[in-house]
Amino acid sequence: MTLHDPLLDGSQKLMMAGYLDNIALLERLHRLLLDVIKDEFERLSILEINSVQALLLFNIGENEVTAGELKSRGYYQGSNVSYNLKKLVELGFMHHQRSEIDRRSVRVRLTEKGRLVRGQLSDLFSRHAEGLAKRSLVNAEGMEHMNHSLKRIERYWTEQIRYIY
């Protein structure tokens, strides 16, 4: 079925159009976020890492995790996680240590250098949240409503993937 399918009634077409707009917007917002981080890091002369690696540092935070845990949480997909973790270790943003229990598994955590970058990103996100509120673009209730809707879509998509297999 497409948006222009004559079998769709008005409300179905409206839902389909909204859904397709949401998908496109999610994709654009993610790319824009990466550009915003890149611009901020260039302004701060943080040129060693890219925006994807910076988000990885931010999401790890004070935790000690494995690449598998990051993938299972849905933050990152594919071999990029392993590559980016390896680069971040080489550049001194993360410590890595083999698990005592499973020697194949490597646990990582932020170094002081990694925590400083995470702090810069946290400051950026804090300024953005304040800016959105000050300009009355989105309030806390609107943000919560968006998060609730996006989580429902996430659950639906997850169910669709599980259903396929």
Helix, strand, or coil (residue 146)? helix
Confirm if 117 and 57 have CB atoms less than 8 A apart.
yes
Residue type, 144: E
Domain boundaries along the sequence of the chain: 48-134
What is the third-level CATH fold of 48-134? Arc Repressor Mutant, subunit A (1.10.10)
Taken in order 146, 152, 156, 157, the sign of the CA dihedral is positive
Once rounded to an integer, what is the mean pLDDT over residues 32-60?
95
Once rounded to an integer, what is the mean pLDDT over residues 126-134?
96
Mean pLDDT of the residues in the chain = 89
Of all residues in the chain, the percent with pLDDT exceeding 90 is 63
pLDDT band of residue 77 (cuts 50, 70, 90) is low
pLDDT value at position 88? 95
Determine phi and psi for 113, rounding to 5 degrees.
-60, -40
Predicted structure pTM score: 0.83
> Is residue 40 predicted with pLDDT exceeding 90?
yes
Confirm if 110 and 53 have CB atoms less than 8 A apart.
no
pLDDT band of residue 135 (cuts 50, 70, 90) is very high
